[in-house]
Amino acid sequence: MDFKVSPSKVEDARVTVPGDKSVSHRALMLGSIANGRSDVSGFLAGEDCLQTLAAMRALGVSIAQPGPTEISIDGVGLQGLKASAEALDLGNSGTAMRLMAGLLCGQAFDSVLTGDASLTGRPMGRIITPLSEMGAEIDSNNGKPPLKIHGRSGLRAIEYELPIASAQVKSAVLLAGLYAIGTTRVVEPAATRDHTERMLRSMGVRVASKGRQISIRGGQALTACRVQVPADLSSASFVILAALLAENADIVIANVGVNPTRSGVIDILRGMGADISLENSRQLGDEPVADIRVRSSELRGISVDPAVVSLAIDEFPVLFVAAASATGSTVFSGIGELRVKESDRIAAMAEGMRNLGITVDESPHGAVVHGGGFTGGTVESFGDHRVAMSLAVAGTVADGEVLVRNVDAVDTSFPGFCSCMASIGAGIEAIDRDCT
């Protein structure tokens, strides 16, 4: 499937976007090892989360789905998971792969984690190292999936300093820490999203946070609870971008998670001159949410502080497009982590924007994007959902039609993307590749 994008007139609107992917993954995993029934509303029924749902069912957990965004999980307790008869296919989801590895390495049975061509090409050494220090035995393909996790009980607690800020690695170690003897501590070099800690606490687990150190004592039982999943800020960022680039739009995105450990995209865009405000701020369960109001703005180039990179790690494709539309140049540094996402996102965005008339200077751990106007053209998403959607939004303000190739992966995180964008006036159409 491809996107055909026409120059568009984005107009005033009030919209919603799908549920938060990070929270949905964690609700499935933690609800499965809790005692009792966890009812989840606002669940993201995208392909990534549905793969996690299928994996938990294969591990013996009964999960009902009474509605597209509602699930009910009958938790089996900390020691109640059962061996799957087959490898657990996690599709395109690096989050699921890394968190499941932490969850499964303390079980009494063996497990195999695999995924699609993109996921099996992604490095997993960063979780294999700390989990092995805890006593886990994990076989891999030179540090890449498939991962064979040999069951064992009695992992040992460790203190682990993350070499790179990563919520996925932190969460994997904390989940393994539930099955370890003693207290496991993780020390972060910079703050990362804390959805795991928040949800563990909401299920009765004591998780201590002091500065950049997070600690969890092994053997604690989880108690089922109601989980209300907020709308995903990463998905909302595409609507935010479209509104900012439009000529005269005023758009409200309802009920969006604005957890401060992942709202860096808002802070960075505000630093570029974006008119973004948070209205009706409140708590949804253990997560802060708000309605995000965005008005079209004249953006200016800035040097993005590397210290905020971990708070906006998934939104840099959006920020690249914003930078291309700004006056002057924007300097991104300390973003080398983007090279090992679903694609090499620095290279993918640089190539895509060059094909649309924008000058981009790459470096191993950064890029400089020079502001200008987008031309029409054909760009490749490299099978990366965030690259695909970012380049599609760029096409709405191009001076000609833009074709974004290979966009099937968009359904992993934002089912209904085209219809949502159409509701604000963006001309993004999904077409069969055979028709191009």
Range of the domain at 409: 2-19+230-435
Please say which residue of 206, 228, 250 terminates a domain. Answer: 228
Q: Are residues 90 and 15 in the same domain?
A: no
Q: Are residues 263 and 383 in the same domain?
A: yes
Q: Are residues 215 and 315 in the same domain?
A: no
Q: Are residues 183 and 330 in the same domain?
A: no
Q: Are residues 264 and 401 in the same domain?
A: yes
Q: Are residues 224 and 164 in the same domain?
A: yes
pLDDT in tens, 223-258: 999 999 999 999 999 999 999 999 999 999 999 999
Please say which residue of 188, 205, 228 terminates a domain. Answer: 228
Q: Are residues 303 and 317 in the same domain?
A: yes
Q: What is the CATH number of the domain that holds 12?
A: 3.65.10.10
Number of folded domains that form the chain:
2
Q: Are residues 267 and 148 in the same domain?
A: no
Q: Are residues 305 and 412 in the same domain?
A: yes
Please say which residue of 177, 210, 228 terminates a domain. Answer: 228
Kindly give the parts of the chain with pLDDT less than 70: 434-436
Q: Are residues 261 and 409 in the same domain?
A: yes
| pLDDT at residue number 151 | 87
| pLDDT at residue number 435 | 52
Query: Annotated active-site positions, please?
Result: 314
| pLDDT at residue number 158 | 98
Determine the Cα–Cα distance for residues 106 and 102; give it in Å rounded to an integer. 8
- Tokens 């490095």 belong to 123
